[in-house]
Amino acid sequence: MKKCLSMMVAMLCVSAAQAGEVSVAVAANFAGPMSAMSDAFTATTGHSLKISVGATGKFYSQIAAGAPFEVLISADDETPAKLIVEGFAVPSTQFTYAIGKLVLWSAQPGYVDDQGAVLTAGQFAHLAIANPKTAPYGRAAIEVLKARGLGDGLAPKLVTGESLGQAFQFVATGNAELGFVALSQVVVPGKPVSGSYWVVPPALYGEIRQDAVLLKRGEKNPAAAALLAYLKSAPAKALIHSFGYGP
């Protein structure tokens, strides 16, 4: 009996010694799914996540300046590719983990119709978007407004958040009547949808292909490699799909 207990303790010690932590920069639209899969990732791999949430463009600047991130979960496919070219990310590790979907959302039930006609009516004071210079969803929002011929007319009503998370908060708190956010922020598994929203037709904006990449600082960290592998697993893909992302 004592021998068995000793072996169990030894195995636990080895497991603890092998467990690591990965510092991951996560695009604001993917904060919910990343948080939701954190426990499962740890249970499966023994590793833990240190999550930082923000705008992809800002993460690029921070990584280039030496920020200690080991994995980037981006809101686009351009930033990871650029980091590889510039030597900040590991070649051949970039892959698409999700296709993002843009929605026009209001915290008020019945405010946004299923065709987005509320934009043309213009009976609102503020329309929130993420910064189009740093956030892919912000760029997509501008594309939608231009496609609808509303770019110039609604420009004075735009309220720009530093990240998609901040744009969402502008709407959630009522500081903006409506805003362009990610479907993943509105449709959360296990929770009732609040307010009203319009899923923007993909034809109105460029495909939001979201890629992940291993950064140079995480090249020798097994926990970083484990996270990228887990994102490709069936359980992770199912969870990502449940948040409204395309495959």
- Report yes or no on 31 lying in a domain: yes
How much is the pLDDT for 191? 84
CB distance 82 to 112 below 8 Å: no
Assess whether 162 and 225 both reside in one domain. Answer: no
- Report yes or no on 215 lying in a domain: yes
CA distances from 40 to 34, 142, 228, 230 (A): 10, 36, 14, 10
Assess whether 95 and 106 both reside in one domain. Answer: no
CB distance 135 to 246 below 8 Å: no
Crossing angle of helices 222-231/31-45, nearest 10°?
A: 120
Q: Over the chain, what is the mean pLDDT?
A: 91
Assess whether 172 and 226 both reside in one domain. Answer: no
CA distances from 22 to 19, 37, 175, 236 (A): 10, 14, 36, 17
Assess whether 86 and 111 both reside in one domain. Answer: no
Q: In the chain, how many H helices and how many E strands?
A: 11, 10
Assess whether 129 and 70 both reside in one domain. Answer: no
Assess whether 115 and 76 both reside in one domain. Answer: no
- Report yes or no on 114 lying in a domain: yes
Assess whether 90 and 6 both reside in one domain. Answer: yes
Cβ neighbours of residue 106 under 8 Å, at least 6 residues apart?
112, 118, 171, 177, 178, 179, 195, 196, 197
Assess whether 178 and 218 both reside in one domain. Answer: no
How much is the pLDDT for 192? 84
Count of domains for the chain: 2
Assess whether 108 and 147 both reside in one domain. Answer: yes
Assess whether 122 and 193 both reside in one domain. Answer: yes
- Report yes or no on 41 lying in a domain: yes
Assess whether 68 and 145 both reside in one domain. Answer: no
- Report yes or no on 247 lying in a domain: no
Judged against a pLDDT cut of 80, whether residue 100 lies above it is answered with: yes
Question: Where residue 93 falls among pLDDT bands split at 50, 70, 90?
Answer: very high
CB distance 24 to 227 below 8 Å: yes
- Report yes or no on 204 lying in a domain: no
Please give the average per-residue pLDDT across 41-62, as a whole number.
Answer: 95
Question: Where residue 12 falls among pLDDT bands split at 50, 70, 90?
Answer: very low
Residue 181, beta-bridge partner list: 103
**Whole-angstrom distance, CA of residue 182 vs CA of residue 165:** 9
Assess whether 32 and 82 both reside in one domain. Answer: yes
Question: For residue 204, what is the DSSP state?
Answer: G
How much is the pLDDT for 134? 85
- Report yes or no on 174 lying in a domain: yes
Largest CA distance in the chain: 78
Q: Could you give the percent of the chain with pLDDT greater than 90?
A: 84
CATH number at residue 125: 3.40.190.10
Summarize pLDDT for 138-161 with one digit per residue, the tens.
Answer: 999 999 999 999 999 999 999 999
Q: Which of 183, 218, 230, 233 is nearest to 42 (CA)?
A: 230
CB distance 52 to 25 below 8 Å: yes
Judged against a pLDDT cut of 70, whether residue 17 lies above it is answered with: no
Owning domain of residue 184: 102-199
- Report yes or no on 120 lying in a domain: yes
Q: Which residue has the higher pLDDT, 220 or 191?
A: 220
How much is the pLDDT for 18? 66
How much is the pLDDT for 148? 96
